[in-house]
Amino acid sequence: MSAKPFLYQETQGIRISVRPLYLEEQSQPILRRYVFAYFIRIENVSQHTVQLLTRHWYIHDSIGEDSEVAGDGVVGEQPTLYPGDVHEYQSFCILKSPNGHMEGSYQFVRTDSSTFDATIPRFLLAAGGPS
């Protein structure tokens, strides 16, 4: 299987890259269970120190089910990123169909207490087939 390229989006000096991966060995298509991992890289390319406060995801399943996930931080952390810092993590989602997409945003706060939302680019979730 060839590696899929990262997709990225930059918002106010925060560059968010994402790479999805279908986890065939953890999926059970006969039970309508398709498992996808996604790898996230958050880079602070601004001149400001920022802290990630919250996440907000929109998840679309091709069978027509849409869901939202919102909460504090990412995988239990609210990382502070100084200029030039990088934070990476991975997570997963489960769909009932072999195709869908995800997108969303992270809310950040700067040291001057101003906040902004950084866009997580839309990425496709696709099981099987050639890469």
- 35, pLDDT greater than 70: yes
Phi, psi of 11 (to 5 degrees): -135, 120
pLDDT at 130 (0 to 100): 43
10 Å Cβ neighbour count for 40? Answer: 19
pLDDT at 128 (0 to 100): 75
Residue 76's contacts (CB-CB under 8 Å, 6 or more residues apart) are none
CATH numeric code, 7-126: 2.60.40.1470
- DSSP letter at 28 equals B
Average pLDDT, integer, range 55-63? 97
Q: What is the pTM of this model?
A: 0.90
Residue type, 9: Q
* 18 three-state secondary structure: strand
pLDDT at 78 (0 to 100): 97
Domain ranges of the chain: 7-126
DSSP per residue, 46-83: SSS-EEEEEEEEEEEETTS-EEEEEEESBTTB--EE-T
pLDDT at 48 (0 to 100): 97
pLDDT at 4 (0 to 100): 55
